[in-house]
Structure 1
């Protein structure tokens, strides 16, 4: 089972140059992603007088987050694995693919990247608010909690299938695209209800800069649970117990 593969990591790993480079790559990737995603919402609000909650605003948010994450994953995939998300890192951890010490450094890089992105947006827009994630009218915290679990499960399951799975084959070349597409699709599905975070770092930066922590726990608990479940399922069922080579693709033609 994946739980047996969970590792704390050796103390020297915390300051090893390779680990620090990976954390730095996560910092820059998350900065790029959050700047694009949060910035698109701020720009749309400015152009439409706070119209980001309209259907057009939802589509704009979907495209910006999908494109931004595609780039964020692609530019760090060969350095840190292109997590760009504490929930993805947690899913990799519970599946035994990353140590606890490396997880902590990844999280620090991701949270700092999001915070710096929001500070840059605040400064470069002349003090416009970096809005924290919030629930729509009629949506309870438990509705949002389930939304975040399910959407993040789909995201981390996609990461495992296209990026982490050692048997991914040529599908690994489209991992950044697939990951960006699932996030864009989930924004369309859940954006009108709770903002569709799926990423504690994406929620943390705006909440910190605007100092608005309303229902913030939902955007940590939901994604971490969803990501953890995806990691356990994919690692335990589709990777951990594989005893034969996958059939060549020609067998299905």
Structure 2
């Protein structure tokens, strides 16, 4: 029988830790153990374990499932996301459909476009900057990319808050919520890199973007089941 790994122990947090505390612990450990950090503490196997733990504990549904496997009491709001209030049961089906379609067209699709504007150019922008991070023109171009990303993210966050999430897409909305949070954290790390040229900030920022991409992909998969 396979022994269940203790992801909370790997991230050095408690099972009662909030999503924010888990995120802070991940950021701290990623900077210490990332293979590209060029420090004595760099550990490829350790960062793989840390990433695996964070991918489960940062996902609201995966964390709840994991907690059940550990035999822990599951609190549906412990992950930091409180689902929106459901429509009254007596509301007509046609009104519910109109609400869902409105949310998809006015919130979900525009947010996806904004997320694409952030994620799609990342690899290319990092590769261009890697030619010489100390070149002023290359750094200015990278900072311009970050600024465009920040504008796109702000737009997406405003859209996400602009309407209540229809109950059928509560799971999709949760994934989007965490996607936007991870993009925000990733941009903060990239901005830190432009100030101090600390490679660990660049690598941590890329890790946050990678997780955001995975969360967005899972949101899209859930949406396909609904539509």
TM-score (norm 1): 0.32
TM-score (structure 2 length as normaliser): 0.34
Q: Which has the higher contact order (CA 8 A, sep 6+)?
A: 1
